[in-house]
Amino acid sequence: MNMLEARRLTKRYGGELAVDQVSFTLEEGTATALIGPNGAGKTTTLSMLAGLLKPTEGSVEWDAHSGIGFLPQHPQFFPWLTAIEFTEMAAKISGVEAKLARKQSERTLEFVGLGQAMNKKTGTFSGGMKQRLGLAQAIVHQPKLLLLDEPVSALDPTGRREVMDLLKSLQGQTTILYSTHILNDAEEMTDQVLFMQRGKLVEQGSLAEVKKRHANPQIRIGFDNSEHAARFLQSNPWQAEVKGASIWLPASGGPSMEEVLRVIASDPAGVNAVERQSATLEEIFLKVVGAR
Amino acid sequence: MKQLGVLFQKEWRENLRNYKIFWIPAVFILFGIMEPVTNYFLPQILDSVGNLPDGAVIEIPPPEPAQILAAVLGQYQLIGMLVLILAYMGTIAGERKSGTATLLYVRPLSFTSYFLSKWMIAGLIAIISVWSGLLAAYYYTFLLFEQVDFVKFIQFAATYSVWILLVVSIVLAASAALPNPGFAAAVALAVVFLAQLGDGLLGAYWTVSPVKIPNYAAQWLVDGPVRADFWWALGIALLLIAMAVTFGVWMSRKNAADTKV
C-alpha cells in the first residue's frame, strides 16, 4: 500500500526552480533515502511533503489519518521549556489525549536516551541532545510517516551510530523518508533510494535495482606484488587494467569468473585474492551525479 | 479549541520564565507612583534647584487628584505602550524567524488557537499592568493628596483597558503579518502614533474615535464623557480589536511557510 505519493512536485522561488517535477511513492513500512549534494532541493522537498511549504505545482497525497512526524535539520526548541514539557505539548497538539500524552512522552524520551535530562530546560541542551529531542518530538504521537531531514549529519560518530540504531528499530512499523548526504548511512538503512540533483530526481528505485542498473561488477585479482601481476598478464593476454598489485578485468567482454579461476588454479603464483566487486552506493551516486 | 489550553500553558510558561509577567507590571507601577510623588515634592524640588532670589515665595496650588491620574495615563500613552509593543513584537514573527515555530506548524495546529493563546496572554499581562499601575497611582494620590471616588476610578481604568487591548491586538497582528520583530514593532508604533497624530490634528471635527478613548477614560474622573460619543468609540474599538484578531489569525496561517526550517 502506498503511504505517500508525490506527483510532479515543483517549487519555484522567483525564477529559480528549487524542486523540479519530482514524483515518487513511499510504500508503507519502507525506509527511503533521499540522497543528494547540498543545495539539491532535499529540504525543500521534505518541507513540501510535511505541509510546511506549498508546492508551486504538483501535489502530495497521503493518508491523512496516519499522522506525520517531522525532524528538521536543525530543530529549534523553546529554550525555557523542559524536554518533557515540550514533548508533551507536541503530543497534545498532534491529537494525543491529555491522559496518554505524559506517559507517551516519558516513554519516548527514555527511548531516545533523554530519560535523565527529561526535566532539564532545552536551552541547556547540547547539539546531540537536541537532535535526540527532535527525534522524540517527531515520534511521540506514533505517526505512521516519518520525515527526517539529515537526521544524523550533525552528530559525532558515536551519536550517529546510536541515532541510526534508533531509526533502524523503527524501520518496518513506520514509513521513513530521510535525506542524507552520508552514503554509508543510506546504504545501511534503506529499501528505496532517491537521488536528487539541482532540484531534479535523477535516479530512483530499490537499492538492489539501482545497484544492478549501475553496478558493472568487475573481477579483481590481487597479487603479492606488481611483478606477479605483470607476469600474470604476460601469460594471459587479457584486456585488463593494472592498479598497483591488482588487476581489474572488465565487467563484460572479458573472461568469465570460471575461466579466471581455472587459469589461477593451474598457475597460482603470487595470487592472494580473487573477487567480484560491485559498486558501492557512493560510486553509483558519483557516477549518476557526475554524468550530468 | 482543545489546543487553546495547551498553547496558553506554553505562553504562560514563557511569560513566567522570561519574567515578563513581573517586569512589565513593575514598569507600569513605577510610572504610576512617580506621578503623584513628583507632584507632591514639586515645591521642594523647585526650591532646591531653582535660583530664585531670596524672599521669593513660590505659591503652587496643589493639583487636583484627577489631574494626577490623568497625567499617569499620559505616561502610559508613551512609555507604557512602547514597553508593550517591544515586549510582544516578536511573539509570532520571532518564533518564525528562529524556527521554533516549525515544530508547531508541522502539526495539525489550529492557527486560531495559536494566535488567541498569544493574544490572551499579552492582553492579560497588559491589563494586569495597567490596573496594578493605576491602582498604585490611585493609592499614592490618596496618601499624598485626596481620594478620588472609587467608582469613577473603576470607570477610568476599565475604559483605558479597552484602549490598551486595542494596542496589544495591533502589535500581535503586526507580528503575525510581518517577517521580523523589529519591522512589526515599527509598524505597530507607526499605526498607533499616526492615528493619535491624525486625531490630534483633525480630531476637533469629530467626536467618535477609538483614539479618543484615553481622553474619555480621563473624563470619567470628573463628569464623565458625553455618553453617546463614549459608547460609539468603545464599540468601534471593540470592532477594531475583533478585526485585528481575525487578521492576525489569518496572517499567522498565511505566513506559516516563512518559518525557518
Domains belonging to chain A, first-starting first, are: 2-213 (3.40.50.300), 216-284 (3.30.70)
List pLDDT tens digits, range B9-33.
Answer: 999 999 999 999 999 999 999 999 9
Q: Please name the residues in contact with B77: beta carbons below 8 A apart, sequence gap of 6 or more.
A: B196, B214
DSSP class per residue in A151-206: SSTTS-HHHHHHHHHHHHHHBTTBEEEEEES-HHHHHHS-SEEEEEETTEEEEEEE
**A124 burial level (CB within 10 Å; 0-12, 13-18, 19+):** exposed
Residue A84's pLDDT is what? 97
For residues B196-217, one letter each, b for 16 or more C-beta atoms within 10 angstroms of the residue's C-beta and e for the rest, the string is beebeeeeeeeeebbbbbbbbb
Residue B94's pLDDT is what? 96
In angstroms, the CA B78 to CA B95 distance is: 27
Q: Please name the residues in contact with A144: beta carbons below 8 A apart, sequence gap of 6 or more.
A: A3, A28, A63, A66, A67, A174, A175
Which one of A68, A70, A76 has the shortest CB-CB distance to B100?
A: A76
Segments of chain A scoring below 50 in pLDDT = none
Closest by CA position to A133, among listed B98, B100, B97: B100
pTM flag (> 0.80): yes
3-state secondary structure of A6: strand
Give the ranges where A207-251 is alpha helix by DSSP (H). Answer: 207-214, 226-235
Residue A233's pLDDT is what? 84
Disruptive mutation site among B11, B16, B98, B103 for chain A (greatest number of A CBs within 10 Å): B103
At A246, the amino acid letter reads: S
List pLDDT tens digits, range B25-64.
Answer: 999 999 999 999 999 998 888 778 767 777 777 777 888 9
Q: Which residue has the cell 497625567?
A: B71
Disruptive mutation site among A43, A65, A78 for chain B (greatest number of B CBs within 10 Å): A78
Residues A1, A27 contacting (CB under 8 angstroms):
yes
Cβ contact, residue pair B3, A93, below 8 Å: yes
Query: Where along chain B do its domains lie?
Result: 2-258
The interface predicted TM-score (ipTM) is: 0.90
Residue A260's pLDDT is what? 85
In angstroms, the CA A181 to CA B100 distance is: 25
Which one of A72, A77, A80 has the shortest CB-CB distance to B18?
A: A80
> Chain B closest CA to A101's CA: distance in Å?
12
Residue A291's pLDDT is what? 57
Which one of B100, B105, B257 has the shortest CB-CB distance to A78?
A: B100
- Chain A residues whose CB is inside 8 A of the B100 CB are 76-78
Cβ contact, residue pair A75, B102, below 8 Å: yes
Residue A150's pLDDT is what? 93
Residue A279's pLDDT is what? 72
Residue A38's pLDDT is what? 86
In angstroms, the CA B224 to CA B231 distance is: 12
Residues B100, A78 contacting (CB under 8 angstroms):
yes
CB neighbourhood size of A291 (10 A)? 7
- Chain A residues whose CB is inside 8 A of the B10 CB are 78, 81, 89
Please state the rounded mean pLDDT for residues B129-136: 98
Q: How many CB pairs under 8 A join A and B?
A: 66
Which one of A53, A94, A149 has the shortest CB-CB distance to B108?
A: A94
Beta bridge partners, A125, equal none
Sign of CA dihedral A214, A215, A217, A222: positive
